[in-house]
Structure 1
Amino acid sequence: MTQRAVRETLRDERRDPGPDDDPAGVPADDGEHAASGDDDGGTPPSDGDDDGIPASGEDAPAPDSGGGRRPRRRMLKWVAAVLALVLLGAAGAGYVYYRHLNGNIKQNPLNLGDHKVAEPTPNAAGQTPLNILLIGSDARDSKANQDLGGARETFGSTPLADVQMLLHLSADRTNMSVISMPRDTLVRIPKCTDPEDGTVYEASNGRTMTNQSLGHGGPGCTVATWQELTGIHIDHFVMVDFAGVVAMADAVGGVPVCVDANILSRDSQGHGSGLKLPEGTHPVKGEQALQWLRTRYGFEDGSDLARAKAQHMYMNSLARELRENADLSNPNKLRRLAEEATRALTVDPGLDTVKKLYDLSNELRRVDPERITMTTMPNRYVGARVEPTEDAEQLFRLVREDIALDGKDEEPAAEAAKEKKSAASAEPAAPDDRIAVQVVNGTRTDTLGTASGRASTVAGLLQEKGFTGATADTVGSLSERLTLVRYPSADLKGDALRVAEALGVPASSVRQSTDVSGVTLVVGADWREGTAYEAPEQDDTTPESAKALNGADDSACMKVDPAYTWS
């Protein structure tokens, strides 16, 4: 196809999407995705072997305002920006707009669980943020993927979501945040139903490693797990497979990465990705890029946390490189990249056509590397696994409230809070005397026992304020650092916000949760006495434990474990 024909196809697509661009249709489950991780599932260096692939496909969709034809050079810059920010996604498709590429893209339902999170309230300009879950699977379900290595016993087995990254694009499209969750984080996996065969996977009994969520019906269960843990509304997901990572990394050219010493990621037992690089900064592509993304043995302490840091470094470097990469002016390279990208992708129905991915590029192209922040979910060890900490909840709250993790929001915090409070009060609610509220005592802490009678006291306070349906749970008790109002479904959000408003509880402490059957007030450790709630001062800074890495930081260099060096 000539370049002129490509441009005419693009113009026709934008004028008339046609049947191939219909986002409706029955999703088909296909387990190819993007990849990562060791087969052992453990975080500590001594756990298992390193044969997975932490690759990330970053994707974030949003409607495009349309517009006429633009100069080719400018279009190429948009494409480059998408490739950088969607990391190994379907970026080149914005230029190479072939209809048959739509058929390459695999799709799965967005959410397989019962847990739904209400969409965020639009800002003053009517804009809402975009949240995209990027999933890497250790599936080895094709010859191409198996040829790339990994433990033989995992071929054809139930895939694990060994890379999970939440990409948040701000409502005003000025900044982007990424949160990586370690694959062995202990979470509650909700009840999910496999869309292909109808198999019902009951909610996990207790906490389970988050990477197992993918095996409970597909990526939609991983989405459901994230939403239940974080309270963040997720708009889309993207998965990319092993072979796709290699092919796309090769198609876009080398990405500079840095190590502070010679590294060979391989030990005497055969553990490691096989990455071999001399000290300094070097471009990696193809299989070597894949090795970088999957390396655990040899980076810092050999944990998944160190590997996430290396992934962030790669993603930021790719973002910078592609904004100035002249190789993308080659139409053949763009076409090859588009082919590989679309074949590698598994997405939800909202991203299932090239046009939707092209529209996405128009949103992502606005974000400069200086406004991209990569983080890892703050965590602590529980035996050989990890769990979220209080800092993790703070990080999740910043994303829920669309607060930039780089601390460079232009809108004053006080005005933003006022605007959000006003928007929250607009949610429809039943009359106070018609709102049923259960009050639970959650004042227990690691060092203090449960404060006696708090559920009854606060329930009485609500009744005095006109909430005659308020009752105290005098049997149960919880442990919550902050006072929260929980509600099970979107239709009760307004009622929950009204209860919070009556008590002076901030809207940020109102959460949707399937753990409750109705509006539930949990009196936290911050309200152990008295009848007047004083909300603690909110800290809107990114926790240091999130190990934030700015997208413009080109000085980052991975520390090499001396046991994995060579001379």
Structure 2
Amino acid sequence: MAEHKRVLSRRRRILRTAACAFAALVVLGAGAGLFAYFRLNGNITSVDIDARLGDARPPAATDGSFNILVLGSDSRAGDNGSVAGGDTGGTARSDTAMVVHVNQAHSGAQVVSIPRDTLVARPDCVDANGKPVPGAKRAMYNSAFESGGAACAVKTTEQLTGLRMDHYLQVDFAGFARVVDAIGGATVTTTVAIHDKDSGLDLPPGEHHLDGQQALAFVRTRHGVGDGSDLGRIELQKQMVKSLLRQVGGSGMLTNPVKLWSVGDTVTRSITTDSALGSVNSLVGLAQELKGIGPDQLSMVTLPVETAPSDPNRVVPLQPQAGQVWAALKADQPFPSAIVSEQPENPAQAAPTAPAPAAGKPSAKATATR
């Protein structure tokens, strides 16, 4: 009997020890989870777009579809100076601009790249410090971000497209390079040789696996492809977007907590969002909504443009094709097939149409941007 009691006593001690150890693990795990949550939340920079723009905006869709304005900033502040090169005079411009439309079922997305040199009507804005920024009848699209920041970029985009930008997402040079490295690089295939002394990119035709610095050079290069305009660079950016989606989907990141933490920490340190996306919970919710969208569910076009009649180095939206693109997004419909078929097969084909005719002169038949 005494022996039986000693055995029971040992078992109770073992069970108590195991229970205490389990409780400690739960507490430590919860503590680590809380640390991760607050760390990632603290990383995120957000801008209250709604408060700055008020109610004078296009209505939001009611069918479940939504739009995101994605901007790439060429700021040289902080870490960006060491990876970007060049000089912007102390300002930041949006050298990459994409309107991303997520369909009603959240099963596919359409992306429209807006050339930075597109001349648009820029509305009156208020910058981040509350200072008025006067509008302009003809201004480069990327001047909106440079002059008035995120809110002005959104307002200008909404005026150009007639669509509500439900969300805003911005990434800078250093952030982009960090994210590419965090997910393991990006594989691209070049159909033409790319040699750009400004970006330092030197790639023969073929498949290449790029690290963060190389990927940044890839999406920034323009002098090494086509006619040296922004249009060739946009074609490289489209390929990079699909490559990154493919890399994320095939890396096993979503089932690897360590990898997921590393990528999450990198991403949240690298982006600026609208206030509705300015938390880990909101970003995770968005990721859940988009998890079924991969490269094959992505349709990408460049806004149809033609050379501006007033300046051969600028472009203007080509009508009626540009209007048809925005109308397709508004109706949650695919891009018109005629516009998709006119998209270039490689960056060397990316060039605007012939210069627009002067006022009063007959117009030649126009084609969508290459």
Is the structural similarity TM-score above 0.5?
A: yes
The one-letter code sitting in structure 1 at the alignment partner of 2:188 is V
Match of 2:43 among 104, 125, 132: 104
The one-letter code sitting in structure 1 at the alignment partner of 2:322 is A
Residue matched to 1:310? 236
The one-letter code sitting in structure 1 at the alignment partner of 2:285 is D
Structure 2 residue runs without a partner (length 5+)? 1-23, 351-370
Residue matched to 1:402? 332
Residue matched to 1:199? 131
Deviations 1:336-394 (A, max 9, x none): 22222111111110000011000011110122432210110000011210111120100
Residue matched to 2:315? 386
Written as runs of structure 1 = structure 2, the 5 A alignment for 1:37-436 is: 98-110=37-49, 112-113=52-53, 115-122=56-63, 128-142=64-78, 144-152=79-87, 154=88, 157-196=90-129, 198-204=130-136, 206-266=137-197, 272-326=198-252, 329-382=255-308, 383-389=312-318, 390-405=320-335
Q: Displacement of 1:188 after TM fit?
A: 0.9
Equivalent-residue separation in structure 2 for 1:6 and 1:176 (angstroms): 40
- Secondary structure in 1 matching 2:71: strand
The one-letter code sitting in structure 2 at the alignment partner of 1:200 is P
Written as runs of structure 1 = structure 2, the 5 A alignment for 1:474-489 is: none
Instruction: Kindly indicate whether the alpha-carbon contact (under 8 Å) linking 1:165 and 1:180 is maintained by their aligned counterparts in 2.
Output: yes
Q: Displacement of 1:158 after TM fit?
A: 2.1
Written as runs of structure 1 = structure 2, the 5 A alignment for 1:444-455 is: none
- Secondary structure in 1 matching 2:200: coil
Q: Displacement of 1:171 after TM fit?
A: 1.2
Q: Displacement of 1:313 after TM fit?
A: 0.8
- Secondary structure in 1 matching 2:148: coil
Deviations 1:503-546 (A, max 9, x none): xxxxxxxxxxxxxxxxxxxxxxxxxxxxxxxxxxxxx5462476
Q: Structure 1 pair 97/331, CA: closer, same or farther in 2 (3 Å)?
A: same
Equivalent-residue separation in structure 1 for 2:254 and 2:317 (angstroms): 40
Q: Structure 1 pair 334/6, CA: closer, same or farther in 2 (3 Å)?
A: farther
Equivalent-residue separation in structure 2 for 1:118 and 1:366 (angstroms): 26
Equivalent-residue separation in structure 2 for 1:387 and 1:319 (angstroms): 31
Equivalent-residue separation in structure 1 for 2:168 and 2:46 (angstroms): 10
Q: Structure 1 pair 557/346, CA: closer, same or farther in 2 (3 Å)?
A: same
Instruction: Kindly indicate whether the alpha-carbon contact (under 8 Å) linking 1:104 and 1:342 is maintained by their aligned counterparts in 2.
Output: yes
Q: Displacement of 1:246 after TM fit?
A: 1.0
Percent identity among equivalent residues?
34
Structure 1 residue runs without a partner (length 5+)? 14-95, 123-127, 267-271, 406-539, 549-555, 562-567
- Secondary structure in 2 matching 1:384: strand
Whichever structure has more strand as a proportion of its residues is 2
- Secondary structure in 2 matching 1:370: helix
Equivalent-residue separation in structure 1 for 2:261 and 2:25 (angstroms): 11
Q: Displacement of 1:547 after TM fit?
A: 1.8
Q: Displacement of 1:180 after TM fit?
A: 0.4
Instruction: Kindly indicate whether the alpha-carbon contact (under 8 Å) linking 1:191 and 1:201 is maintained by their aligned counterparts in 2.
Output: yes
- Secondary structure in 2 matching 1:347: strand
- Secondary structure in 1 matching 2:80: helix
Deviations 1:167-215 (A, max 9, x none): 000011121000000001101111111243x2011221x2100100013
Equivalent-residue separation in structure 1 for 2:237 and 2:141 (angstroms): 19
Question: What RMSD over aligned residues (CA atoms) do the two structures have, in Å?
Answer: 2.7
Instruction: Kindly indicate whether the alpha-carbon contact (under 8 Å) linking 1:377 and 1:546 is maintained by their aligned counterparts in 2.
Output: no
- Secondary structure in 2 matching 1:233: coil
Q: Displacement of 1:109 after TM fit?
A: 2.3
Q: Which moved more, 1:103-112 or 1:387-396?
A: 103-112
Equivalent-residue separation in structure 1 for 2:304 and 2:181 (angstroms): 33
Written as runs of structure 1 = structure 2, the 5 A alignment for 1:496-535 is: none
Equivalent-residue separation in structure 2 for 1:4 and 1:546 (angstroms): 58
Equivalent-residue separation in structure 2 for 1:261 and 1:298 (angstroms): 10
Instruction: Kindly indicate whether the alpha-carbon contact (under 8 Å) linking 2:74 and 2:84 is maintained by their aligned counterparts in 1.
Output: no
Equivalent-residue separation in structure 1 for 2:25 and 2:194 (angstroms): 43
Whichever structure has more helix as a proportion of its residues is 2
Equivalent-residue separation in structure 1 for 2:31 and 2:331 (angstroms): 40
The one-letter code sitting in structure 2 at the alignment partner of 1:252 is I
Q: Displacement of 1:151 after TM fit?
A: 1.8
Residue matched to 2:358? none
Instruction: Kindly indicate whether the alpha-carbon contact (under 8 Å) linking 2:98 and 2:111 is maintained by their aligned counterparts in 1.
Output: yes
- Secondary structure in 1 matching 2:293: coil
Q: Structure 1 pair 546/97, CA: closer, same or farther in 2 (3 Å)?
A: farther
Q: Displacement of 1:327 after TM fit?
A: 5.7
Deviations 1:384-425 (A, max 9, x none): 1011112010000000111133xxxxxxxxxxxxxxxxxxxx
Equivalent-residue separation in structure 1 for 2:60 and 2:254 (angstroms): 36
Q: Displacement of 1:280 after TM fit?
A: 1.1
The one-letter code sitting in structure 1 at the alignment partner of 2:102 is L
Residue matched to 1:64? none
Q: Displacement of 1:323 after TM fit?
A: 1.4
Equivalent-residue separation in structure 1 for 2:219 and 2:248 (angstroms): 18
Residue matched to 2:21? none
Q: Structure 1 pair 261/211, CA: closer, same or farther in 2 (3 Å)?
A: closer
Instruction: Kindly indicate whether the alpha-carbon contact (under 8 Å) linking 1:252 and 1:328 is maintained by their aligned counterparts in 2.
Output: no
Q: Displacement of 1:7 after TM fit?
A: 7.2
Q: Structure 1 pair 262/187, CA: closer, same or farther in 2 (3 Å)?
A: closer
TM-score normalised over the length of structure 2: 0.79
Q: How many residues align?
A: 321
